[in-house]
Amino acid sequence: MDPAALITEGKSFEENPSLFQYSRDYNHVGKCLIINNENFDVMSQRKGTEVDRMLLQRTFTSLKFTVQVENDLSADDMLKALQRVSEEDHTDMACFVCVLLSHGENGTLWGTDRQVPLRSLTSVLSAKRCPSLEGKPKLFFIQACRGREYDPGVETVETDSAEEKQPAQTTEIPEGDFLCSYSTVPGYFSWRNQMAGSTYIRYLCEMLKLNKHLEITKILTRVNHRVALDFESNTLNWQTSRKKQMPCIVSMLTKEVFLTA
């Protein structure tokens, strides 16, 4: 290719930054589905998750999303809830958001009765299964454990840590235009206070409200910063006290996402 052509092409992108941004030229910003699992058949109750649910509902409503809340869904009902969303017409919407609040392991989330692979949930919104969201950003925010290790913080990380044994997986994302923001990295515990809710959701909502003008990955980087630097567990057990938490962003977005016009 002619080098001059490359220079000309580069200038065109520089002069038109909207080429790197998902379109916001729609009547509605989008739908936000919150699946909030608190009570389980065989797992412990997730006390404090109702605080997260209320904060999320207020935050995304303030961002002009149409918010739908589903509580205590079985694995099959979680899939059905997303299936119903995929069958809706999102033609006039700029994006879709799903927040999942539950117990989890690495690569799976708990319904009230059993685990379901996270990829089974995200793939319901693929372009083939939801054509009206094709080419639009699908954002998943996940407050759940991804293992049982406790993060001691960078000062005492060992070379054979669980994080290195279990490298970050991208299999949960079926294709481009998806982003998953996790409350913690693979293999690790995700903290939640029974009275105040979870640290990750609190900072996520705070950063979304304070930084509406920023692109979504920049907002989430600030969430990572706040959780990683400001949080430290405080328990009566020396094995779980003074532990840290590091959220994780896995993005297959092809453009920048702005949630406000």
Q: Which residues are catalytic?
A: 103, 145
What 3-state DSSP class applies to 33? strand
CA dihedral 181, 183, 186, 189 (to 10 degrees): -170
The CA-to-CA distance between both ends of the chain, in Å, stands at: 37
d(CA 102, CA 151): 20
SS3 content of the chain, % helix, strand, coil (to 5): 35, 20, 45
Give backbone dihedrals phi and psi of 133, rounded to 5 degrees, phi first: -105, 10
Sign of CA dihedral 202, 204, 205, 207: positive
What 3-state DSSP class applies to 180? strand
d(CA 219, CA 222): 5
Nearest Cα to Cα of residue 109 among 122, 97, 96 = 122
Q: How far is CA 258 from the centre of its chain?
A: 15
* Residue in this structure with the two tokens 């935050």, named with its chain if needed: 59
